[in-house]
Structure 1
């Protein structure tokens, strides 16, 4: 209690001639050492230690030692502050001649040489919560490009590559969701890396409006060697794909030119061999659905087995359907089987009629059910072309609701909507 009272008196005495800033620093130092000393002593009760083998005499000696330590520490700090203020006072007095209050002369006080010094410069660090003026805020330096970000939009306007890609219509929000693509784009130089690839795509016939789509789906084409890209285009031309067809294929399948010639050749051979097609029909299928050369072959193999084994189509029927609708090769197995089950077992449509209208596999099953049940309710569900009032499967699934009602069901659109509510 005696030491805490002495510390308080010291704080009050120092605050009178050093100001709030100095007293705050001194109070921080004294409080810091008071916590250390109290922690080492563990507990204090009425001026006597309750833990250990200390007597009251030993306690008073320890208190006296610590009081001397704090007094010496105070003297050293006051001496340093006095010197600094004296220098400042001399400077002011030499410039304007004003007589400022004199600081107490503390240089005559003795300071123990063996006393551990504190790093008081650490307390001169500016606080993060300290308010600054507008002039000081303007002078604070900041990086032109953010060192890290979760979005590419923070770099647009600071990166020439990203700025030009946005002007081309590239969807950066799609690219930033893919790992490592954002950092790859920032490392690319527009003049040496991006511009030559864009000019190459234009030279092979790709329209300007498709450049943004291609890069949005396949940014890695910007890192491909121009020589490799030209080699792959030359291969497709050698297989009798016209230059216009190649440009259309690249626009529809952006990853097409990322695959080497060997892969492209193997894919073309696979479709020609599996479907027993001529070279002309194979080119026709690939030109209309070029992503067949980019995706996995496993779904295609599985669908071919489904058509032949599970659904019971013959090879020539499969060939006819695939040539008419190449997308059937990549359709989901569950969708194919459910549509065929409804067509063949509920609507009683035979295989040869389904073969003539393979577009039915691209429709929505619910739409097919609703329209068939509506025609059946009206007594018009007749799908045999050899009988009167024939309903074409192609028109059944492709016509809009209003045209379907007026031309095929001979009813109103309101009748169809009322019937759908009963399902």
Structure 2
């Protein structure tokens, strides 16, 4: 009886040990499998590492945690359940924490077959890899942002010169904050509606980017004001195209400028409109140079009020001309060429001609003995022709010489 009991105990212990070893082997195998999967390299595609590697690693890590929890639980409860398992059937089922399915095994094998991140790839695969561009946090040039900014890229297509804008403080950051559809496009449509040609958009924005931040209500109000002053729609469009800052001034300021020219020059409203239409920047520029030039014409140059009116009406640029250039040209005309005031008033375009051009031609005519500017004398040469004719025509019609002779004479000056 004792011998039979001893044999039964040995059989039970042998059965329990064999089950324990089998279960432990299965858990160890699964844990090694999980650990192997977690070491798989992640394949990087399109600049991102969230494709195969991270997904497989995440799944393996979860299984590993569950396996570890089950293994620990099995170790602590094994002795407590040993007696109960001996009293059950010969086949004892040990529940797995997370069973490994065939699909998971296939996924792990596929991940293991992936290329290493350090393995050489073909040219085709290298070309297919795209790295998303990132907008630089800071730069000294707007061209670094063109590829990332829809607004800048479309402004370039319109002909905007970014190199001019980036030289101005805070303009670059202002443009980057603008949305093309909500900020830029409505202003461009407004310019088109008032008659500005598409080819002038680039010029206008290059010189006045702040028009993109003006409210449409203000822009419409300023255009309507100019039309109320009897500027035609075609004239308004031309003025805006040639003076980009025109629409940045309030209606009150535009009205004050028109009143200033009418009062200072004692001109009619029609003549003021004519002057401003031909030189629209008169409404944008500072009034101080204009006042100074009017004083120079009256006091230093000695022109009468009606003569100044005629000169300004014919050549509005005299109002904004450089003071030194204006006095230098007049001094040569009046004191060297002996041209009286009334002839200069009759041909005011000579005041807008380059000083060197007038000087060279006069000296050449004097060298030839043809410098005659008095209308009452024979071989009279009109000042407008002296100033405006091209070199070849000047030589053949006025100097009666060849162009080569004129060029040789210029070298002697």
**C-alpha distance in structure 2 between counterparts of 1:418 and 1:403, whole Å:** 17
**C-alpha distance in structure 2 between counterparts of 1:409 and 1:140, whole Å:** 71
**C-alpha distance in structure 1 between counterparts of 2:284 and 2:174, whole Å:** 23
Distance 1:350 1:160, change over 3 A: same
Aligned counterpart for 2:228 among listed residues 238, 248, 264: 238
Say whether residues 1:297 and 2:287 are aligned partners.
Answer: yes
Which residue of the partner structure matches residue 381 of structure 1?
371
Cα-to-partner distance string for 1:299-342 (whole Å, 9 max, x where unaligned): 00000000000000000000000000000000011111111111
Please give the TM-score of this superposition, normalised by the length of structure 2: 0.69
Question: Shift of residue 140 of structure 1?
Answer: 11
Which residue of the partner structure matches residue 265 of structure 2?
275
**C-alpha distance in structure 2 between counterparts of 1:188 and 1:422, whole Å:** 58
Which residue of the partner structure matches residue 365 of structure 1?
355
Question: Shift of residue 361 of structure 1?
Answer: 1.1
Which residue of the partner structure matches residue 420 of structure 1?
410
**C-alpha distance in structure 2 between counterparts of 1:250 and 1:166, whole Å:** 21
**C-alpha distance in structure 1 between counterparts of 2:221 and 2:380, whole Å:** 52
Say whether residues 1:198 and 2:188 are aligned partners.
Answer: yes
Question: Shift of residue 141 of structure 1?
Answer: 7.3
State the secondary structure of the residue aligned to 2:185. Answer: helix
Question: Shift of residue 388 of structure 1?
Answer: 1.5
RMSD over aligned Cα atoms: 2.3
Question: Shift of residue 367 of structure 1?
Answer: 1.5
- Summarize the alignment of residues 168-179 of structure 1 with structure 2, pairs less than 5 Å apart: 168-179=158-169
CA contact (8 A) 2:276 2:282 kept: yes
Cα-to-partner distance string for 1:107-145 (whole Å, 9 max, x where unaligned): xxxxxxxxxxxxxxxxxxxxxxxxx8778x999977521
Question: Shift of residue 148 of structure 1?
Answer: 1.3
Question: Shift of residue 159 of structure 1?
Answer: 1.1
Distance 1:142 1:205, change over 3 A: closer
State the secondary structure of the residue aligned to 2:256. Answer: helix
**C-alpha distance in structure 2 between counterparts of 1:224 and 1:365, whole Å:** 41
Question: Shift of residue 157 of structure 1?
Answer: 2.3
Cα-to-partner distance string for 1:33-83 (whole Å, 9 max, x where unaligned): xxxxxxxxxxxxxxxxxxxxxxxxxxxxxxxxxxxxxxxxxxxxxxxxxxx
CA contact (8 A) 2:271 2:313 kept: yes
**C-alpha distance in structure 2 between counterparts of 1:390 and 1:256, whole Å:** 44
State the secondary structure of the residue aligned to 2:236. Answer: helix
Q: Which runs of 5+ in 1 are unaligned?
A: 1-89, 96-131
Distance 1:389 1:149, change over 3 A: same
Question: Shift of residue 420 of structure 1?
Answer: 1.6
**C-alpha distance in structure 2 between counterparts of 1:333 and 1:140, whole Å:** 60
Pairs aligned (count): 299
**C-alpha distance in structure 1 between counterparts of 2:296 and 2:374, whole Å:** 25
Distance 1:422 1:219, change over 3 A: same
Question: Shift of residue 266 of structure 1?
Answer: 0.3
Distance 1:374 1:223, change over 3 A: same
- Summarize the alignment of residues 388-403 of structure 1 with structure 2, pairs less than 5 Å apart: 388-403=378-393
Which residue of the partner structure matches residue 264 of structure 1?
254
- Summarize the alignment of residues 4-403 of structure 1 with structure 2, pairs less than 5 Å apart: 144-403=134-393
| Structure 1 outlier segments of 4+, above 3 Å | 132-135, 137-143
Q: Which runs of 5+ in 2 are unaligned?
A: 1-30, 37-117
Structure with bigger gyration radius: 2
Question: Shift of residue 164 of structure 1?
Answer: 1.0
**C-alpha distance in structure 2 between counterparts of 1:133 and 1:270, whole Å:** 78
Distance 1:222 1:401, change over 3 A: same
Distance 1:367 1:232, change over 3 A: same
